[in-house]
Amino acid sequence: MKISCSRMNLLNGVNIVMKAVPSKTTMSILECILIDASNGEIKMIANDMELGIETRIDGEIRENGIIAIDAKLFSEIIRRMPEGEVKIETDSNLMTTITCMKSKFNLPGKDGSDFSYLPEVEKDQYITVSQFTLKEVIRQTIFSVSNNDNNKVMTGELFEINEDSLKVISLDGHRISIRKIELRKKYGSRKLIVPGKTLSEISKILSGEIEKEVNIYYTDKHILFEFDRTLVVSRLIEGNYFEVDQMLSKTYETKVIINKKSFLESIERATLLVKEGDKKPVIIGIEENVMEIKMNSTIGSLNDLIDIDKTGENLMIAFNPKFLIDALRVIDDEDIKLYMMDPRSPFLINEDEGKYTYLILPVNFGVVR
């Protein structure tokens, strides 16, 4: 194989596919990036058997070929190469020479035929959204995905497609995040559980431009995201997702309209008094037209007052401040609506048209989960 391309093109490709290189594996071939220049274009591929990424880069193919190169080493070499044209050549013994300007590396490659290509995903079923929309939806829900593998379903997000709407749901046992968007046309109904890791990595690759689209194809086993010149294929999580609608109460005793920025800044001030690893709840007292934010810790105490528009009963309730901050930071509205039943029932942040819903479980006044 003999190819040449700019260092910047090569580095962009490396940065994209590195997200699918496993940190630990018993299969050494999976620790490699595959460079495939066998069909008139230069592809870079990485695959950890759960998540696979393929991207195409511009360059010149002087001799067709395929080579697998240690991903970590190759990434560091390209990162530290001088700016200019990079030439990559392999010989019959798979020895790979990487040259740029006056810098030259020689390192052993591996047979590309041993590499696991991305699985083929049929393109019969799909939806299309803008890169901006997908990136925003992930940002507004990914923080509620569980990191605990004991319940695999909770490590993913539910994509619920219903005609011209897509509802994305995540939960971790203490909170629920829901984001609903309108699709440009009607599709069939389908529920898919997409690994949180896949969505997190995709959000780092997406440009976020409104005019650029992502085609999302899916089968019973896999989901494929196709955008720009990149393919991201992931296994879906098997199982039945939770019936979240049953967890969202339609009744409430207290409704509050509050300025989001003021609420967020007050909670953030409260966390200044919490040492790392310390579990102190933020206490919220709601009375006529005022919300009091309280924090008491070994460092000190805080009392903040925020003007509100309240309907219903007075209430005192406590929360893990991190959960509130996570939700408030991704809401773009100036004013938000809060719904509460009692100190032991979930706290709901809801938008009138259902574009977003955040449910957070309260805690005991002395302990944060």
* Cβ proximity of 237 and 266 under 8 Å: no
Beta-carbon neighbour count of residue 143 at 10 Å? 19
Residue 51's CATH number = 3.10.150.10
Whether 119 maps to a domain, the answer reads no
| Alpha carbons 84 and 103: distance in angstroms, whole number | 11
Which tokens hold the place of 349? Answer: 């942040």
Q: Does residue 313 share a domain with residue 282?
A: yes
pLDDT tens-digit series, residues 209-247: 999 999 999 999 999 999 999 999 999 999 999 999 888
Question: What is the residue-averaged pLDDT of the chain?
Answer: 95
CA distances from 198 to 20, 122, 184 (A): 9, 19, 24
Predicted local confidence at residue 148, as pLDDT: 86
Q: Which of 83, 114, 145 is the last residue of a domain?
A: 114
Domain membership of residue 72 (yes or no) is yes
pLDDT digits (tens, 9 = 90+) for 336-367: 999 999 999 999 999 988 899 999 999 987 55
Contact 310, 289 (CB under 8 A): yes
Residue 286 has pLDDT above 80, yes or no: yes
Tokens of 24: 């630990």
Per-residue pLDDT, averaged over 290-303, amounts to 94
CB 10 within 8 A of CB 77: no
Assess whether 210 and 177 both reside in one domain: yes
pLDDT at 367: 54
**Model pLDDT, residue 249:** 82
> What are the tens digits of pLDDT across the range 90-126?
999 999 999 999 999 999 999 999 999 999 999 999 9
SS3 content of the chain, % helix, strand, coil (to 5): 20, 45, 35
Spell out where 251-289 has E strands: 254-259, 282-287
- Structurally, how many domains does the chain consist of? 3
In terms of domains, do 233 and 154 share one? yes
3-state secondary structure at position 49: coil
pLDDT reported for residue 253: 95
Q: How confident is the model at residue 275 (pLDDT cuts 50, 70, 90)?
A: confident
In a domain, 369, yes or no: no
Q: Is the pLDDT assigned to residue 279 strictly greater than 90?
A: no
42-93, pLDDT tens digit by residue?
A: 999 999 999 999 999 999 999 999 999 999 999 999 999 999 999 999 999 9
Strand partners, 258: 336
C-alpha atoms less than 13 angstroms from C-alpha of 296 in its C-beta half-sphere: 6
Q: Which band of pLDDT confidence, cut at 50, 70 and 90, is reported for residue 164?
A: very high
Closest CA to 141 of 171, 184, 186, 99: 171
DSSP reduced 3-state for 11: helix
pLDDT of residue 366: 58
Is the pLDDT reported for residue 368 higher than 60? no
Q: What is the pLDDT of residue 276?
A: 81
Q: Which domain holds residue 44?
A: 2-114
Tell me: do 134 and 91 sit in the same domain: no
Q: Which of the listed residues 245, 266, 301 is the one where a domain comes to its end?
A: 245
pLDDT at 23: 87
Do residues 142 and 228 both lie within one domain?
yes
Mean pLDDT of 266-282: 91
Q: Is the pLDDT of residue 202 over 60?
A: yes
Q: What is the pLDDT of residues 133-160, one digit of tens each?
A: 999 999 999 999 999 888 999 999 999 9
